[in-house]
Amino acid sequence: MANIKHEPHTILVTGGCGFIGSHFIRHMLSSDTACRLLNIDTLTYAGSQDNVVDITQEFKARYQFIHGDICDGQLMSRLFADHQPNTIVHLAAESHVDRSITGSDPFLHSNVIGTHVLLQCALASWRERRDVRFHHVSTDEVFGSLPAQGYFTETSPYNPSNPYSASKAASDHLVRAWAKTYDLPVTLSYGTNTYGSHQYPEN
């Protein structure tokens, strides 16, 4: 895992037209006047450019939107080559438990294959650089159901209980494996009950 100070310069955000992503982009561009930000989103039901209209207008010199799929290896390789991001914030994911139960294919495609494509592109582009960072946004769902008493920690055992959480657990393990095997600088975060404006209604 990454344990050195990191300064983001060009940030590639995946799923930036979604609920959390749009807030993150707005925060970064407002708080760091030197950073550039690329937002790639496939614009599924949970992602909308309406969430970033103000960003496009206010920060157009430092912000670019790309409509695309992170599972498209050729597209992602071109983005790395053309823009040379030194930071990835990986938010793109299918994320609704009930939808995963009735149809798991999109969850495996986006959450597992998409993460693998990003890791491979980052590894090929960054090689042995240490001034880079792959931040993977996970979920507390990977730890299973919380009992009436207690709480999860970073050392809680994985215990996914549905296709969504299983696909996120798989992507977490990929990120950790690329860190250990290839020394890729990574960090992970586990969101819990996030809510607010721009959230898709069913969540």
For residue 94, what are the contacts with CB-CB under 8 A and spacing of at least 6? Answer: 44, 100, 106, 107, 109, 110, 111, 164, 167
Map tokens 């657990």 to a residue.
169
Q: Which of these is catalytic: 69, 94, 141, 172? A: 141
d(CA 72, CA 84): 17
DSSP reduced 3-state for 159:
coil
Q: Which of these is catalytic: 41, 63, 69, 164? A: 164
164 annotated active-site: yes
Contact 88, 135 (CB under 8 A): yes
Q: Which of these is catalytic: 32, 131, 140, 182? A: 140
d(CA 135, CA 91): 9
140 annotated active-site: yes
d(CA 169, CA 111): 9
Token pair for 71: 């599972």
Catalytic residues, by residue number, are 140-141, 164
